Amino acid sequence: MILKCWIIIVNIVVQSLALRENIALNKDTLQSSTTMGEANRQAKSSLANDGSSEQNYRAPGGPFCSHTLPDEANYWWALDLGQEYNINTMTIYNRKDCCGDRLADFFIYIYNQQINTWTNFDDEQGQLCFYHNGAAPAVLSIACNRIIPGRFVKIFKEYQYFPNTDALTLCEVEIFTDHTPDEGIFCKQINKQAMLSLQTNLENATRIRCAHFCKDSDNCLGFQMANGGQCSLFQTSMQVHGINDEYYERC
């Protein structure tokens, strides 16, 4: 039996277009602690996967982001997807009104426990999806180091000194899986900039060949085309307005 792999390149993409399902939306969440936000409302963990990408924590009607208590030894936020998925890529929305540098040097782990309860979800060793070195941008998209089967996702960071206190704040976390692993759609990204290079290049490549190359690399989020047909692969990207490079991402 011959399996065909369909690759489609979309040259124009509307910013809000989502061709894959966000499997994190409104799923069960937990965090290491919870602070009190605006108008005496808790900055609970579910605010990080409620479908709102509002990045102003203190906007009227807020809080709009999850927020732990300040200055703890370490911080974590966790999500129960409800069943096992092959987890591929994620997008994290950082706080923009202040303190975005706190979301730094964090780990993303995936767990697939024998006993799937909040009490036991991280008893066994988690699989490292990604480690982000330094402060995260306002919107960070990442591909896991490889496609990882799992049910629980945990974002973890240790305490760091900041003059205005430390905490873990997440305004939205989106998680994507490939329901059709033998197919691939890559969209040209408007206002997105490739970040972490995989140091893997193809010379004299077409867009289709480059897309195949990215799709066959577990840790590839997207690819960039340069003059002369040079294809470069990347694991992360960030949102930057006014950018219109020849950069394509799985969509």
The 10s digit of each residue's pLDDT in 44-99 is 999 999 999 999 998 999 899 999 999 999 999 999 999 999 999 999 999 999 99
- Could you report the per-residue pLDDT of 167-217, keeping only the tens digit for each? 999 999 999 987 666 667 888 998 999 999 998 888 888 899 999 899 888
Please state, in angstroms and as integers, the Cα–Cα distance from residue 171 to each residue in 51, 77, 78, following that order: 10, 12, 14
CATH code given to domain 184-250: 3.50.4.10
pLDDT at 240 (0 to 100) = 93
Please choose, from the candidates 48, 33, 55, the residue with its C-alpha nearest in 3D space to the C-alpha of residue 99: 55
Is pLDDT at 232 greater than 90 in this prediction?
A: yes
17-26, 36-45, 226-235: the lowest-pLDDT one: 17-26
Q: Is 163 exposed, middle or buried (0-12, 13-18, 19+ CB in 10 A)?
A: exposed
- By DSSP bridging, strand 6-10 and strand 183-188 are parallel
Higher pLDDT, 244 or 60: 60
Q: How many CB atoms lie within 10 A of CB 133?
A: 9
Please give the model's pTM, rounded to 2 decimal places.
Answer: 0.92
Superfamily of domain 28-177: Galactose-binding domain-like (2.60.120.260)
Extended strands (E) in the chain? 6-10, 28-31, 66-67, 74-93, 104-111, 127-135, 139-158, 169-170, 172-177, 183-188, 192-194, 197-202, 222-226, 230-234, 236-239, 247-250
Domain map (residue ranges) of the chain = 28-177, 184-250
